[in-house]
Amino acid sequence: MRFYTRQHIHSCGIDLHAQTMSVCVLDAAGEILLERKLETTPEAFLETIAPYREDLVVACECIFTGYWLGDLCAKGKIDFVLGHALYMKAIHGGQAKNDKIDAHQIAVLLRGGMLPQAYVYPSGMRETRGLLRRRLHLVRKRGQLLAHLQNLTHAYNRGAFEKRIAYPSNREGVVAHFSGEPMVQANVALDLALLERYDALLTDLELQLVRQAKREAPRGFQLLRSIPGIGKVLAMTIVYELHDVQRFERVQQFASYARLVKCAKESAGKRKGTSGAKMGNVHLKRAFSEAAVLFVRHSAEGKRLLARLTQRHGKGKALSILAHKIGRAAYYVLLREKPFDAKKFFAHANP
């Protein structure tokens, strides 16, 4: 957990919503200079804070409607802090709660150096990250269609398809597979039509994303692809979800952010399990979990490593350990700007 500790003359806390925003400005002594409810517009915000622009810092809770506010502050050279929503327990644990109270508590935490920070992803690569996440949504929808077709074969006891229907060239005769069931055939035809559209959309989208990645982050994109099992899509996912590897001072911080480790809960010298499983970036967790499976497929030495880990820990935990090791390797590949070194990796990875 990182706190914003810089001191300013004016501290502005904002409880931000889609249509309205509550603003509270404190001075260096903690006295309230302004409390006001505004429309959520750049003009209203800039007009309200104008008298307090001298050494001003602005903070709001991490929320999807906050992109414009961060961009506006960056453009106006105003210090901006994004509060980590899951860590900001102070604004959720009071007896009374409303927008005015929340804005004041954010300002108090900010002034006192106790506001837990989330990363402010700047404009530019952020838009590409949003499109990459949208691609994942479409991939999952496509997967649901394929699963539905497979389920129909079980429901009507028609036997498995002869070929993998994930490939468009193998879908000929899929409708005929359900002969004698006209309504089921209509259902199958609908799935196939949707699959054809998804295939076309995803192909074009991936080409566009790869071209953009080569323009915005060419070095990191190519370096990550030197790791066996990390292809174009996983490399893009890691690059755009990470944005800047320099924001992590240690590899342990990166592993925690990527959900590759579990955090211990201890009190009075006694360990009471783990916590924080849902803290961090779920997209990085998914990327490195997939990379672990593909790493084994592309590396004979990786298969032997997984076998040794499985013998000691079991298959599921072994894959998690391997994902952690690959995550650490990716961190150092990006930090040092050197391609993946298999010899060093296996020298340190062997249990």
- The predicted pLDDT at position 279 comes to 82
Residue 337 and residue 283 share a domain: yes
Q: Is the pLDDT of residue 92 over 80?
A: no
Q: Is the pLDDT of residue 265 over 80?
A: no
Last residue of a domain, one of 95, 118, 141: 118
Band (94; pLDDT cuts 50, 70, 90)? low
Q: Do 20 and 91 lie in a common domain?
A: yes
The answer to whether residue 226 is domain-embedded is no
Instruction: Please tell me whether residues 56 and 20 are part of one structural domain.
Output: yes
Domain count, the chain: 3
**pLDDT class of 340 with cuts at 50, 70, 90:** very high
Q: Residue 154: is its pLDDT beyond 80? A: yes
Position 91 scores a pLDDT of: 60
Given a cut of 80, whether residue 264 has pLDDT beyond it is: no
Instruction: Examine the domain organization and report whether 202 and 286 are in the same domain.
Output: no
Residues 9, 109, single domain; the answer is yes
Does 175 fall in a domain? yes
Phi first, then psi: give them for residue 166, nearest 5 degrees.
-65, -25
Domain assignment present for residue 24? The answer is: yes
Looking at the fold, whether 15 and 110 belong to one and the same domain comes out as: yes
Mean local confidence (pLDDT), 301-314: 93
pLDDT band at 93 (very low <50, low <70, confident <90, very high): low
pLDDT of res. 89: 73
Residue 202 lies in a domain: yes
**pLDDT of 267 strictly over 90:** no
For residues 339 and 247, state if they share a domain: yes
Residues 167 and 237 in one domain: no
Q: Are 148 and 191 in contact (CB under 8 A)?
A: yes
Tell me, yes or no, whether 224 lies in a domain: no
Structure confidence at residue 141 (pLDDT): 97
Same domain, 78 and 110: yes
Identify the domain containing residue 250 by its residue range. 232-265+277-349
Mean of the pLDDT values across residues 244-264? 91
Q: How many other C-beta atoms lie within 10 A of the C-beta of residue 270?
A: 7
The span from the CA of 104 to the CA of 112, in Å, is: 12
Phi and psi, residue 21, nearest 5°: -150, 135
Token couple for 4:
């914003």
Mean pLDDT, residues 311-331 = 94
Pairing assessment for the beta strands 10-16 and 56-61 based on DSSP bridges: parallel
Pick from 72, 99, 118: which residue ends a domain?
118
Cα 133 versus chain centre, distance: 8
The model's confidence at residue 281, banded by pLDDT at 50, 70 and 90, is very high
Q: Which range is least confidently modeled, 7-11, 29-33, 88-92, 216-220? A: 88-92
Among candidate residues 333, 338, 302, the one with its CA nearest the CA of residue 228: 302
Do 134 and 114 share a structural domain? no
Q: Is residue 23 part of a domain?
A: yes
Give per-residue pLDDT as tens, 35-79: 999 999 999 999 999 999 999 999 999 888 889 999 999 999 999
DSSP code, position 247: G
- Looking at residues 119-127, what average pLDDT do you find? 92
Output the furthest CA–CA distance in the chain (Å, rounded).
Answer: 81
> Is residue 227, in this structure, part of any structural domain at all?
no
pLDDT digits (tens, 9 = 90+) for 67-85: 999 999 999 999 999 999 8
The DSSP bridge partners found for residue 12 are 25, 58
* Residues 316 and 289 placed together within one structural domain of the fold: yes
Residue at 36 is within a domain = yes
Q: pLDDT-based confidence at 269, cuts 50/70/90?
A: confident
User: Are residue 102 and residue 58 in the same domain, yes or no?
Assistant: yes
- Is 140 a residue whose pLDDT tops 80? yes
Both tokens of 230, joined, read 């990390």
